[in-house]
């Protein structure tokens, strides 16, 4: 099966798929080796790993380069953040085709203006429902019958209110959305209402420090959510570990005291598949 078919089959089964946010080949391999069934290429995490905030500053070309890296690094389905599609409906058509060409299993588009900002920042602005439904139709046409699962996100809770978010979600399903992503509900009651009021498969975003209260995957599955992303957890853990290691190296001139918190030389090489490359090297020698 294609990655998209694999993901659809898993989502059709019981329970919930948890997809950690990754941002390069190494983080993707770490997540896959931990046993996750899918990985999520977070636009925000990719931006931060490039040294810029999540304010829509990266181009599609830059994101495609990172997506290619992740898809090549793992065998599990890759879910991609396509932001606003990098422009209007025509841009969306090209974006979806380019993402599909790389072999992503799913992608999501959102209804913010371009350039967008992190869904948990203040002062988000949305395009009209009519414009967004046109972009969704363009995406559905571009993905075809066998392309990536089309997930559509709305940021309307913060910008227009909860009821408007639900109304937008219904409009997006009518335009071709296969899964809905209602960004930044601010209470457990809102999370429950999303599950109650929408009958299509649902994605939810979970991470500490945002506007949405944390719920574990099992409770979300009981409510009916099918996909949970944790977009920044791995990166935030890596940031803290790098900060601690950099501080120790600068202050003491050595990282000996942190040896038990660092991957060994061999573990590092095993994660990125050095043994298989050595085998190929000997085969072609």
**Amino acid 237: pLDDT:** 97
User: Does 26 score more than 80 pLDDT?
Assistant: yes
- φ, ψ (nearest 5 deg) of residue 196: -75, -35
Q: Please name the CATH architecture into which domain 3-238 falls.
A: Alpha-Beta Barrel (3.20)
Dihedral through CA 113, CA 85, CA 161, CA 55, nearest 10?
Answer: -60
Please report, for the chain, the start and end positions of each structural domain, with discontinuous segments joined by +. 3-238, 256-285
Q: In the chain, where do the E strands start and end?
A: 17-22, 39-41, 78-81, 106-110, 149-154, 179-182, 202-205, 227-230
pTM: 0.95
On the 0-12 / 13-18 / 19+ scale of CB atoms within 10 A, 34 is exposed
Token digits for 238?
């890596």
**Amino acid 115: pLDDT:** 83
Confidence bin at 175 (pLDDT 50/70/90): very high
pLDDT (tens digit, 9 = 90+) per residue, 103-153?
A: 999 999 999 998 887 777 777 899 999 999 999 999 999 998 889 999 999
Question: Looking at the annotation, which residues are catalytic?
Answer: 40, 54, 81, 83, 108, 110, 118, 153, 183, 205
**Amino acid 144: pLDDT:** 84
Span 160-189, mean pLDDT?
Answer: 96
């Amino acid at each position: 099966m294609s990655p998209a078919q694999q993901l659809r089959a898993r989502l059709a089964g019981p329970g919930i798929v948890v997809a950690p946010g990754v941002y390069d080949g190494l983080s993707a391999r770490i997540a896959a080796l931990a046993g996750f069934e899918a990985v999520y290429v977070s636009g925000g995490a990719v931006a931060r790993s490039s040294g810029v905030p999540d304010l829509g500053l990266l181009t599609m070309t830059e994101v495609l380069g990172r997506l290619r890296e992740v898809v090549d690094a793992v065998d599990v389905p890759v879910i991609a953040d396509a932001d606003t599609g990098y422009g209007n409906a025509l841009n969306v058509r090209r974006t979806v085709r380019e993402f599909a060409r790389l072999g992503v299993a799913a992608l999501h588009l959102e209804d913010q203006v371009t350039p967008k900002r992190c869904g948990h920042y203040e002062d988000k602005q949305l395009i009209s429902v009519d414009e967004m439904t046109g972009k969704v139709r363009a995406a559905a046409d571009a993905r075809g019958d066998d392309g990536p699962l089309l997930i559509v996100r709305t940021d309307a809770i913060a910008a227009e209110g909860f009821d408007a978010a639900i109304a937008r979600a219904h409009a997006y399903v009518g335009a071709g959305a296969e899964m809905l992503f209602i960004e930044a509900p601010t209470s457990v009651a809102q999370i429950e209402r999303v599950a109650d009021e929408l009958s299509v498969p649902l994605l939810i975003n979970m991470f500490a420090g945002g506007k949405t209260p944390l719920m574990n995957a099992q409770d979300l599955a009981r409510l009916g959510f099918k996909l949970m992303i944790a977009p920044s957890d791995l990166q935030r853990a890596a940031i803290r570990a790098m900060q601690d290691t950099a501080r120790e190296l600068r202050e003491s001139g050595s990282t000996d005291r942190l040896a038990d918190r660092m991957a060994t030389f061999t573990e590092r090489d095993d994660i990125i598949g050095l043994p298989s490359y050595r085998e190929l090297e000997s085969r072609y020698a």
